[in-house]
Chains A and B, each alone.
Chain A
Amino acid sequence: MSVVNYGTREITCKIVYYGPGRSGKTTNLQHIYSQLPEERKGKMVSLATETDRTLFFDFLPLDLGTISGFATRFQLYTVPGQVYYAATRKLVLQGVDGVVFVADSQSRQLAENIESLQDLHANLADEGLDPRTLPLVMQYNKRDLPAGEISSIKDLDETLNFRDVPNFSATAITGGGVFETLRSVASLVLSRLSAPATKDS
């Protein structure tokens, strides 16, 4: 649902960070928020529980400036990863333009990653979106953990990245790979608009 408003010459895109609980989705947004200049970002909205787990979503509006004469804005969302927040994840996915799947690299989290990816596909299908064509980027987070505790990139790619979409190693806690991931998904989403141009939905 990228919105191209020809009257006001604005483009607005919605990117959702998806993944299992505690994989680092909120940490991605927090790093982006901390690094961007004031004039390029809005307030970060976090609907979290007392224990700092995302309850509903995190939201961060970004201003990319003017591209081809269009004021271009991104809306970054995260979903709550915990299994029992399924209804919320579905709501946040409404109108999504691109997804960053934040996988937890820890070997013991592999099953959770798979379950979350299947959940993403099911929810996208419910929204009438084709999981095979929607702009998607994989981020393998927590690469700073000891090698014995994490799966190799090759293993993660073979298990999760069957669409062969761009993938990034990340250490979101220190910011490693965060902007590369965002840049990649931003590019995928906006490139879709250039030809053919999508009209206001």
Chain B
Amino acid sequence: MSDPTVAEGWVAAPLTRLKDDARLISGVLLYPSGRAVGQFGFSNAADVMSICALTSAINASARELGRQLDGKPFYEMHHAGAERQVFMARASAGAQEFLFVGVFDRESSFGVVEIYFAEFQKALEKLHPEKPAAGVGPSGDFEGELNRSLDALFGPIGKR
């Protein structure tokens, strides 16, 4: 099983531990907006984006559903499929909220995932998100490069 790939280094250690302890096949830690913070078990960035979009949507709709039903959001969701199961829950570090979605099979169990996720939550609470790295943004011939890239992908306007 490969190590997590992370956009923010501070989540690498707790994610690795969660993956190993809970025997998860794959998992993504993300911001509620759908931006990935770290993942394991996926080799394609587009797949991670799809997982993030769906998780973010499920969280937003479940939260809204909870709000409409009794004014409280849901904290955790579990879907047991025939072969694989999906676990989805929230965590936070400082004031920042995160979502986690993980997949497991009969090599683990919901109970095991739940207890190690609780440890992951505690580990995350003790950490603090990194400030975004400062750096030079897209500049220089950005417009030119953008147009060349759009031409290559979509074709020049009117020429497709």
What 0/1 readout, one digit per residue, does chain A (163-201) give for beta carbons within 8 Å of chain B?
Answer: 000000000000000011011101100110111111111
* Residues B53 and A75 in contact, CB atoms below 8 Å apart: yes
**Closest B-chain residue to A64, C-beta based?**
B149
Main secondary structure of the interface of A (DSSP, over half): mixed
Q: Which of A64, A69, A73 is close to B49, meaning CB atoms less than 8 Å apart? A: A73
Using known A-B contacts A40-B153, A65-B149, A200-B132, determine if residue A70 contacts B138 with beta carbons closer than 8 Å.
yes
Question: Out of B45, B146, B155, B158, which one reaches A73, CB within 8 Å?
Answer: B45
- Asked whether any CB of chain A lies closer than 8 Å to the CB of B1, the reply is no
Give the chain B neighbours of A118 by CB distance below 8 A.
none
Question: Are A68 and B138 in touch, CB under 8 angstroms?
Answer: yes
Instruction: Look across to chain A and name the residue whose beta carbon is closest to the beta carbon of B60.
Output: A91
Determine whether the beta carbon of B57 is less than 8 Å from that of A56.
yes
Q: How near does chain A come to B13, taking the closest CB pair, in angstroms?
A: 17
B50 near A64: Cβ-Cβ < 8 Å: no
What range describes how many residues of B lie at the interface?
35 or more
Task: Decide yes or no whether A88 CB sits under 8 A from chain B.
Answer: yes
Min distance, Cβ B74 to any Cβ of chain A, angstroms: 15
Q: Is B43 an interface residue (CB 8 A)?
A: no
* The residue from A7, A42, A187, A190 contacting B7, defined by CB atoms under 8 A apart: A7
Binding site for B on A (CB under 8 A): 1, 3-12, 14, 36, 40-43, 45, 56-57, 59, 61-70, 72-73, 75, 77, 87-88, 91-92, 94-95, 179-180, 182-184, 186-187, 190-191, 193-201
